[in-house]
Chains A and B, each alone.
Chain A
Amino acid sequence: MTRARACLTVIVASLAAAGCFPITYRARQTLPGDPAVPAARAESVKTWDPTYAPGTTGAHAQDVVPVVTGAGFDATDESGERREYVLWGVRLDGGPGTEVVAMMWSPASAPRCQGGHPAYDLLLDRDRPKDLELLEDGLVHWERPFIVEGSRVVFGRFDQDPPLLHRASVVDLTLRRRDAAGDHEVCVRVPVTGPGVTYWSTKRWSLGYRIALRRAQAFTPGSTFSFSMGLGRWLGPVRLGLEAGITGTNNDAPDKGSPAGTWLCFTAPGPDCETANLGTFALDASGPFARWGRYWGLAWSLGYEVSFGALHRLDPATGDVLGRHVGAGGPRVGLRLFAGIPDLDGVSPFSPTSAWSVELFAAAAQEYYGAAGGHPLSYGVAVVGF
């Protein structure tokens, strides 16, 4: 019971952690801003940007609201909070010097520089030093306006608006320029979602989970249940993952009262079953190839898996429990229907993503050692997170 509880805790904790990583998309295909000078175009978007609410900071692992009074610094108010925002990045050619006054994210139909989400914070990419990996790419610029020289990325932090991520939208930059005619404000409109703008997720690493029910193994005809965890690395549109897990059946001794046959060996071992305790490892390549709407998509999967462990069965004649060790491995192919993270309009269907999926798979295996006794070809269904 303790073991089961510990396993459950690990599973729940890891599943809960899976959705806690910000996702950044980089623009692949963009449209120029209007007017053409100063030049501006979409650069990136972080669709889930958790940060402290204004006035909140971290102190000794607490979210606090600090104040300074005549009595000194006081950080005892623990009512601080964190919020999630959308962080849009626009590459702007500021030339010899352009002042950034404000930023607004709105539907493409909205009037320029009016009627959208105003940016709470404006950030500028770091110009130096680039070796400080701990610092974010963009630093908040509290002063307004701030000056952009040359080609830089200006970021704006906006309220979450999931529907707006899925329709044509624009980021409007209010800029101030100085020329021979004097100071004047310009509103540059940059299309960030909609026709002509495409994105690719910058996601590189991902945790993987796999809960599978398999009809048979090469060495036993009974069904087995497995849970695996792993780590994956996206290489372009392909996720290469390494999994390790446990595979087995209910460990109760085969029971003559349980149903005959091998379909339910994983949960209610009957007289035709063997109990299995196996370790499983797999190298898996997978990738999405189609998306519909905000969530749904299809992905392929191709892997090679190996299993090692012990099997036990009840000898019906003597009533003795007989054990044997087995090892087998072989290829596995699968098709996944997934519910992906609701990213934004224009993301390539081949782009890396995070998703939960249902996979139908087929697998072939050959014994490395131990007697065969199952089926060299098998199939099953799995719930896969990646």
Chain B
Amino acid sequence: MAATATLDILPYAEGASWNPELVCLHDTRKELLHDIWEWICSADDTTHAEVFSLCDVAGAGKSAIAHTVARDCAQKGVLASCFFFDRNIPDRRIPQKLFSTIARDLARLSNDLTEHIVHILENDRSLASASQSRQFDELIMKPFGDRHIGRPVVIVVDALDEGCNQETLSILRNKVPNLPGTFRILVTSRLTDNIRIDLLNAGHVRHTSIDIHGSVNQRDIALYIRDRLRVISSRRQLPMDWPGERRIHDFIRKAEGLFIWVFIVSEYLVTAAYPDRKLFAILEGKNILGLPANTKMDALYAEILGACDWTDADFVHSYQLVIGTVITVKTPISSSALQSIYRDNPILDVNEVLRPLSSLLTGIFQDNQPIQIIHLSFRDFLTYRALCSPEYERFQIREGENSQRLSFLCLRILNEDLTPGIPGTGYLSGVIPHTAGIPLLHESRISEALWYACRFWNEHIIEVQGPVTEDFLDALRKFLTEKLTVWMEVLYSKYPFQTLTPLREWLQVRLHVNEGCPRADSNGFKEAISLRDGTSNADL
């Protein structure tokens, strides 16, 4: 029990593990999976650890392979740990929890290891928040450096490019070879420059790509397309042989080996009106052959988005609010939380906007499931590539504007929902005297939208650049005046400490920018936060 409690101080990225629903279609990827398995079986204590890097374009199907390898290894009892990076999730778009999560998984390999790692942690608790290199050296290298394991120790790291930094790469390059040869680390990634330079030319790194235009991939994608079309025809009650052999061949040819393209097309056809016409439009509408993977994906995204009613001003406005929020939130939220965030906008129907885009988002049909964009390339399209192309301009999402709006909405939620008397609060304001510690707060008492506002208002505000409105300052003033303590009581019942120092710095800069705004001064706000005056009643 004590050992588990000690291990618990190591940060663990929840949900970063493999998912049986995301594995490859049966009978596809046979050769590659076979090669990876051979490589895993060649693990040998007498040599050094190896990395297998699978790098290819976005949408080639790398993650499905990573999930499959993780599943197969878990079934055979050799999966030690896995970490699926994801730019949509706070813990999973940065590398800070990578090695602490892996170390915690590795500690479960045997009781001795648990004890050894606990022993190390008890001697130096600062390791829990130490740099990646120190965590790797102390929590992985030290217990494993000269340990005989006797079976492969497989670690799967997916989408390295979505969360790694230079330090991560340097560990994979320079430190991993010192681990025993039983370690086998499978890494998938898009091929970025620093991954090419820092990882692929190292002696212990085996590099492979999918070769999306190769005949093996063509065969696999054909299998996949036929499988997806069967699903669509049965769901939409289309003829068994829909859409016919000629169109199937055309579909296979035009997919050009890009699995994510096929996946999104088929998701679209499952839900869209007139699937037959939609398929025709995608295959025949525009020349999509021979384009770079990104451009090909962009064309598909534009096709799907273009089917919405862009002449309807209400839709255009709602699209910016809803999709802008989905893209900008710091952690994915459900559609009901989204609706709650826009409570002051009674006309907005979140589901009305989400429904036609269901092929590009996940989780929209379940009330309490977080909504996530389907693939990183869609985010890049909306926030970056659409801005650079007049053709796609109407789809663009400006993250800065959205963050500003979200910070204001968060403040309003905090001001409205953080009411006195929430059970479990009052411990910092002296309402409940003579208590030590922090009481447990029933999570169900706090709505998802309020939790979101509590956790992220601060992060959103400090991203705001340029002048802010007087309404915004009023909301902030109200929050700091009336709600700060209860906010702390709610947040810290569950979440880690947040410093307000960057907010105070932001306030000082912002009020300077807002110089033209008369009420900022007249209301005493400026003096209030200006600690530099050194007066004893200086305020936050």
The answer to whether A binds B is no
Q: Which A residues lie at the B interface, using CB under 8 A?
A: none
- The residues of B with any CB-CB pair to A shorter than 8 Å are none
